Amino acid sequence: MTPTADVMISLRGITKVYRMGSIEVHALRGIDLEVRAGEFVAIMGASGSGKSTLMNLVGCLDLPTTGTYILDGVDVRDLSDSQLAAVRNRKIGFVFQSFNLIPRSTALHNVEMPLIYANQNQGRRQRALEALAMVGLADRAAHQPTELSGGQQQRVAIARALVTEPAILLADEPTGNLDTESSSEIMRLLTSLNQEGRTIVLITHEAEIAAAARRVVRLRDGLVVSDELQQVEAAR
Amino acid sequence: MNIYEALRLAWSGLLSNRLRSGLTMLGILIGVSAVILLVAFGNGASVQVQNQVQALGSNIVYIYPASARGAGGVSQGFGSGSTLTQADVDALNNKAQAPDIVTAIPVTNAAGNMTWQNQNWFAQTTGSNQDFAQVRNYQIATGSMFSADDVRNDAKVVVVGQTVIDNLFNGQDPVGQSIKINRQSFRVVGTFAPKGSQGLGNQDNVAVVPISAAWAYLAGGRGKNISQIVIQATDSSTVQAAQQEATQILLNRHNIGDPAQADFTTQSQQDILNTVGQITQTLTILLGSIAAISLVVGGIGIMNIMLVTVTERTREIGIRKAIGARRADILLQFLIESMFLSGLGGLLGIAVGVGLSLWVSSISLGSSGLLSSLPAPVVSGPSVLLAFGVSVGIGLFFGIYPANRAAALHPIEALRYE
């Protein structure tokens, strides 16, 4: 065992260059970052700071231009398209700003979806129901997304992210589309999930939301400008 | 992802847009039912013609004289020669040499301008012998066939078919009447029961006289010409043997060593059936391919709708990819959806096509009018299977491009799609 055995995310010299027509956009200019198991990290930055690009790379939706990214001991550079899909399926749980539930499917079916793609048919329904119960929506299993409030939809999305027991929970502005009350409800949920030992990476531009995290990483113009621990306020 | 989940997904995808799915399926439905119906019509025509040929007798072989060659070897056309003689007929009736031949009869044809009282009619007048009815499968309705004595004595007697009776006798009993054929008086001794089939020439528009009388009174100085020998084989399975025996006997009698130089040609009912079969098969293929065009149009409709569906569900595809769907999963989902569309449309099309065929055949048999001239459609099993297979294949073929487009979407761009 290496001393970095509990490192979930290890980013080394990550750059990302987009090509928009003839212009090259340097979204990330060399990011070094480590996230250990059980951490609750908030990544902050204004729009254009590269935090969405970073989220896409960490979530294995995209690959860096240069640099190495080791997720839970696996170097994602070496992975094929379908191996990346498997990594997203098993190691990462996404929570999006706009919930991104599959329309016309029940909450239960939405939560089952990652297990379907993982070919886990044994006890699938049971596991999905347990994940829904964990976010307090066991009684909404048969409802479609349009029949749920924003906060409830986001909790279904969190249940879907948790159902495969991923290495990290990746939340991109999870409260961006929610009112204050639902926001604090979601943040309480994330905090308690972290207290149960889950690794959470939260991307936000709101200081209030970032306040729930013990560690805050600030980005500006594609570089890490600060990385500090903070006193966690009790989630309201 | 397993097949059951993929099917469930495809089904819910189709249900989410019922009208659109229904209209797309309608395209395939129309194509498949058109193929089945038109192929059934082609088959019906084939069956109809085959029945007519069978009605002529399935154990019959015809022998025609070869084309006569004029000075310089110019062919004067099929059947124009006069190489067949009564002696040939007698040789063919020799059981020792031709065990598979029941009877051989000579046939000569004459134009038959008939009059009775003030009525006129034109019918093929055939000169033959007393075995004509048996060999050509005619039943005697009233009176009797003329006898061997009549043939020996050049008797001016005639047996007429139903069409002649209808057009000449005004509903009176023809037996015993005297009619004029080419200004020669013939006494009607019998009538043939109608055969009722049409299409290969009207077999009821006949008048048969003793061949000797035909030579003596109707031949117009062409002598004892035999335009055809008709052979009845013992059984439909011995037709080929009978045909070979007849060929050998005639080659020997005509002193011809090389069969290619034969001064006659033989043709069995089977040969005619084969020719007719080729014609109706061509007809069926033609009809089927016209209908197949509509199937292709339906397939393009499926492709169109699948492209719209993929665009509409771009975001959903992004979500699925983010939570772990592989390219193959997305590909499978949309392929199955398009095959569902076409397969279901195909099944409904089979139901409609078979139903229409049965309905048309039930009304066209009994009634008169326009539809009655159509052959009764006969649905063929292979055409149904083929239509279903082709419709599913169309879903596959026309689904590949849209499904591939969906599978190739980049997850980030798909997630950003509004």
Chain A with chain B: Cβ pairs closer than 8 A? 64
- Is B13 within the bounds of a domain? yes
Among residues B351, B286, B268, B338, the alpha carbon closest in space to that of B310 is found at B338
Nearest to A85 among B5, B16, B324 (CB): B324
The Cα B347–Cα B377 span in angstroms is 19
- Of all residues in chain A, the one with the smallest CA distance to B408 is A81
pLDDT reported for residue A2: 46
Average pLDDT over residues B101-110: 88
Residues A117, B16: C-beta atoms closer than 8 Å: no
Same domain for B308 and B367, yes or no, is: yes
Amino acid at A230: Q
**What CATH number should be reported for the domain holding residue A47?**
3.40.50.300
- Is B126 within the bounds of a domain? yes
- Is B386 within the bounds of a domain? yes
pLDDT reported for residue A137: 93
Residues A114, B5: C-beta atoms closer than 8 Å: no
pLDDT reported for residue B365: 55
**Element containing residue B347 per DSSP (H, E):** helix B327-366
The Cα B403–Cα B322 span in angstroms is 18
Same domain for B48 and B146, yes or no, is: no
- Is B18 within the bounds of a domain? yes
pLDDT reported for residue B372: 54
The CA-atom distances, in angstroms, between B48 and each of B20, B40, B53 are 42, 12, 9
The CA-atom distances, in angstroms, between A124 and each of A62, A110, A161, B25 are 29, 12, 14, 34
Residues B10-30: pLDDT tens digits? 888 888 889 999 999 999 999
Amino acid at A108: L
Mean pLDDT of chain B: 84
pLDDT reported for residue A42: 94
Range in A130-139, B57-66, B246-255, B289-298 with the lowest mean pLDDT: B57-66
What are B134's two structure tokens?
Answer: 């048996």
- Is A93 within the bounds of a domain? yes
The Cα B287–Cα B309 span in angstroms is 34
- Of all residues in chain A, the one with the smallest CA distance to B1 is A117
pLDDT reported for residue A162: 92
Query: Which residues in B lie closer than 8 A to residue A53 (C-beta atoms)?
Result: none
Nearest to B326 among A82, A105, A164 (CB): A82
Residues A94, B325: C-beta atoms closer than 8 Å: no
Final residue of a domain: which of B185, B211, B235? Answer: B235
By residue range, what is the domain housing residue B350?
A: 3-54+275-416
Nearest to B327 among A81, A113, A118 (CB): A81
Q: In what order do the strands lie in the sheet with A7-20?
A: A23-36, A7-20, A66-71, A74-75
Regarding beta strands A66-71 and A223-229, do their DSSP bridges make them parallel or antiparallel, or are they unpaired? Answer: unpaired
By residue range, what is the domain housing residue A52?
A: 39-60+81-229
Same domain for B106 and B224, yes or no, is: yes
Same domain for B30 and B118, yes or no, is: no
Is pLDDT larger for residue B58 or for residue A108? Answer: A108
The domain total for chain A is 1
Query: Which residues in A lie closer than 8 A to residue B323 (C-beta atoms)?
Result: 88-89, 94, 113-114, 117, 160
The Cα A53–Cα A48 span in angstroms is 9
**Element containing residue B296 per DSSP (H, E):** helix B269-312
pLDDT digits (tens), chain A, 236 positions: 444 558 999 999 999 998 888 888 899 999 999 999 999 999 999 888 888 899 999 999 999 999 999 998 889 988 999 999 999 999 999 999 999 999 888 999 999 999 999 988 889 999 999 999 999 999 999 999 999 999 999 999 999 999 999 989 999 999 988 999 999 999 999 999 999 999 999 999 888 888 889 999 999 999 999 998 887 765 44
Radius of gyration, CA atoms only, chain B:
33
- Of all residues in chain B, the one with the smallest CA distance to A160 is B323
Query: Which residues in B lie closer than 8 A to residue A102 (C-beta atoms)?
Result: 316, 319-320
The domain total for chain B is 2
Regarding beta strands A23-36 and A168-172, do their DSSP bridges make them parallel or antiparallel, or are they unpaired? Answer: unpaired
Query: Which residues in A lie closer than 8 A to residue B312 (C-beta atoms)?
Result: none
Residue B366 scores a pLDDT above 70: no
Residue B140 scores a pLDDT above 50: yes
pLDDT reported for residue A236: 46
Q: How many CB atoms lie within 10 A of CB B247?
A: 17
- Is A122 within the bounds of a domain? yes
Burial class (CB in 10 A: 0-12, 13-18, 19+), B110: buried
Bridge partners for B52 per DSSP: none
Same domain for B206 and B289, yes or no, is: no
- Is B299 within the bounds of a domain? yes
pLDDT reported for residue A36: 93
CB B365 within 8 A of CB B376: yes
The Cα A94–Cα A96 span in angstroms is 6
Among residues A153, A192, A187, the alpha carbon closest in space to that of A173 is found at A187
Residue B104 scores a pLDDT above 80: yes
Stated pTM of the model: 0.73
Query: Which residues in B lie closer than 8 A to residue A101 (C-beta atoms)?
Result: 319
Q: How many CB atoms lie within 10 A of CB B373?
A: 9
- Is B376 within the bounds of a domain? yes
Taking an 8 Å Cβ-Cβ cutoff, which residues of chain A contact chain B?
A: 56, 59, 61-62, 81-82, 85-86, 88-90, 94, 96, 100-105, 113-114, 116-119, 121, 160, 164
pLDDT reported for residue A103: 87
CA dihedral B211, B215, B217, B222 (to 10 degrees): 150
The Cα B2–Cα B104 span in angstroms is 72
Final residue of a domain: which of B177, B203, B235? Answer: B235
- Is A158 within the bounds of a domain? yes
Average pLDDT over residues B155-175: 88
The Cα A37–Cα A200 span in angstroms is 9
Q: What percent of chain B has pLDDT over 90?
A: 27
Query: Which residues in B lie closer than 8 A to residue A119 (C-beta atoms)?
Result: 1-2
- Is B167 within the bounds of a domain? yes
Range in A112-116, A199-203, B273-277, B347-351 with the lowest mean pLDDT: B273-277
Bridge partners for B119 per DSSP: B116
Burial class (CB in 10 A: 0-12, 13-18, 19+), B83: middle
Residues 6+ apart with CB under 8 A from B50: B273, B276, B277
The Cα B369–Cα B367 span in angstroms is 7
Range in B148-152, B363-367, B413-417 with the lowest mean pLDDT: B363-367
- Is B255 within the bounds of a domain? no
Q: What percent of chain B has pLDDT over 70?
A: 90
Give the ipTM.
0.92
DSSP three-state, residue B228: strand
CA angle B339, B400, B19 (to 5 degrees): 45
The Cα B368–Cα B370 span in angstroms is 7
Mutate to test the interface with A, among B1, B314, B323 (most CBs of A within 10 A): B323
Residues A61, B411: C-beta atoms closer than 8 Å: yes
Average pLDDT over residues B365-391: 73
- Of all residues in chain B, the one with the smallest CA distance to A62 is B412
Residue B75 scores a pLDDT above 80: no
Highest mean pLDDT among B195-209, B221-235, B393-407: B393-407
Among residues B166, B159, B168, B161, the alpha carbon closest in space to that of B114 is found at B168
